[in-house]
């Protein structure tokens, strides 16, 4: 096992800059997730660490060793891709053993290793089958098994669950987490799925357009997103963004006023008259007169907002409501109790928990409030 360190990595394809100045250090044994929308450079970063891609500039270290000129097969990393890429003519056991045979590992050890790995992934009963006799989920387990069997210093996983159906994806995700807990191998996991990022990661690296937006523990990024992109990317339904003008009276949102708390006023004194974006998560909005589903104190400061219901989505344990500010295209998503089922077109009076309000710079998207602590 080993740490992984990237220093100012950049990758250009002709005139397209795929990744720009990426630096981070993953301590030995941690599970990090690179997350961001499609095209933000996740696979390029992973492939560069694997040695399948060459950085235009910058340094990559595994452990304390500079890897820039070390060929892929000598980097002691194992990579798993979205499309399982198993050898079709080999059995499951042969697929798992492949990397070990290549390294001329003692056949006795190989045999033991196949069994241990197969057990840990619950695929012992499939060892004699060929890939085409397996379901997608089973094939992906074999691909994981092939990577695990090698006992590499570092695991690199590129959207390994994206081809699985929802239930299997959730199950395999949990298994992966347990597997990492047991093996403790440094893992870098790439996904566009914020749920996978939140649930799996020790640390998340949020990327957009080839740049790091924020690095941190999942819950700390969720609670304190550095900017609007991170705020709206993590969380489902996503954080609501309300365009507003900051005035002496508070935030003017299409004519409705959301008062500013004393602490917001203090922080935004220089911004009067300016356009800003307000952020509020669906779980921090409630319908006036309805009991809240999230815990809040009675003494909290709240603001009121009138919206028009657009779509009602009952989920059994709760209801998601997509609404909009009247006469505007501005969407407001909220979560409420299962029994609350308004009709499209209804007007609702909402309460917003002001202690949970975010303010972002309209142009840069950077968080203005709450200030860094």
Ligand X SMILES: Nc1ncnc2c1ncn2[C@@H]1O[C@H](COP(=O)(O)OP(=O)(O)O)[C@@H](O)[C@H]1O
- Chain residues binding ligand X by CB under 6 A are 13, 16, 18, 38-44
Distance CA 282, CA 235 (A): 9
**Residue 138 binds what, of Mg ion, ligand X, none (CB under 5 to 8 Å, by partner type)?**
none
**Residue 13 binds what, of Mg ion, ligand X, none (CB under 5 to 8 Å, by partner type)?**
ligand X
**Residue 27 binds what, of Mg ion, ligand X, none (CB under 5 to 8 Å, by partner type)?**
none
CB of 107 to ligand X, least distance (A): 38
Burial of residue 270 (number of CB atoms within 10 Å: 0-12, 13-18, 19+) = exposed
Q: CB nearer to Mg ion: give 19 or 253.
A: 19
Residue 96 CB contacts under 8 Å (≥ 6 apart), including other chains: 113, 114, 117, 118, 127, 142, 145, 146, 149
How does strand 31-35 pair with strand 203-208? parallel
CB of 81 to ligand X, least distance (A): 11
Residues that bind Mg ion (CB under 5 A): 43
CB of 227 to ligand X, least distance (A): 18
CB of 285 to ligand X, least distance (A): 32
**Residue 305 binds what, of ligand X, Mg ion, none (CB under 5 to 8 Å, by partner type)?**
none
Q: CB nearer to Mg ion: give 43 or 139.
A: 43
Tokens 């690199």, residue located = 156
**Residue 266 binds what, of Mg ion, ligand X, none (CB under 5 to 8 Å, by partner type)?**
none
- Residue with nearest beta carbon to Mg ion: 43
Please calculate the CA angle 359-361-364 and round it to the nearest 5 degrees: 140
| Structure-block tokens of residue 129 | 């089958």
| Structure-block tokens of residue 159 | 């959207």
CB of 302 to Mg ion, least distance (A): 42
């Amino acid at each position: 096992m080993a740490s992984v360190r990237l220093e100012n990595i950049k990758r250009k394809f002709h005139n397209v800059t795929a990744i720009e100045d990426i630096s981070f250090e993953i301590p030995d044994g941690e599970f990090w997730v690179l997350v961001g929308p499609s095209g933000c450079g996740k696979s390029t970063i992973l492939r560069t660490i694997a040695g399948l891609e060459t950085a235009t500039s910058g340094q990559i270290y595994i452990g304390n060793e500079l890897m820039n000129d070390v060929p892929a097969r000598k980097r002691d990393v194992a990579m798993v891709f979205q499309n399982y890429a198993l050898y079709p003519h080999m059995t499951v056991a042969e697929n798992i053993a492949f990397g070990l045979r290549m390294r001329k590992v003692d056949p006795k050890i190989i045999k033991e290793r196949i069994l241990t790995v197969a057990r840990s992934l619950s695929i012992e009963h499939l060892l004699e089958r060929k890939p085409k006799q397996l379901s997608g989920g089973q094939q992906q387990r074999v691909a994981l098994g092939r990577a695990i069997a090698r006992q590499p210093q570092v695991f690199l996983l590129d959207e390994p669950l994206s081809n699985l159906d929802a239930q299997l994806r959730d199950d395999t995700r949990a298994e992966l987490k347990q597997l990492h807990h047991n093996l403790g191998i440094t893992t870098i996991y790439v996904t566009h799925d914020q749920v996978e990022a939140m649930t799996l990661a020790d640390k998340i690296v949020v990327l957009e357009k080839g740049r790091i937006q924020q690095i941190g523990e999942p819950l700390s990024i969720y609670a304190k997103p550095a900017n609007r992109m991170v705020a709206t990317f993590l969380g489902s339904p996503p954080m609501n963004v309300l365009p507003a003008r900051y005035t002496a009276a508070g935030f003017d949102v299409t004519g409705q006023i959301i008062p500013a708390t004393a602490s917001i006023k203090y922080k935004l004194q220089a911004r009067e008259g300016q356009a800003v974006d307000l952020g509020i998560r669906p779980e921090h909005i409630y319908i006036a007169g309805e009991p809240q589903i999230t815990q809040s104190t009675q003494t909290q400061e709240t603001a009121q907002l009138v919206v028009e219901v657009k779509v009602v989505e009952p989920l059994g344990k709760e209801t998601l409501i997509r609404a909009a500010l009247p006469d505007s295209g501005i969407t407001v998503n909220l979560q409420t109790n299962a029994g609350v089922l308004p009709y499209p077109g209804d007007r609702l009076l909402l309460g917003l928990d002001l202690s949970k309000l975010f303010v972002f710079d309209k142009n840069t998207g950077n968080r203005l409030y709450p200030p860094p602590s």
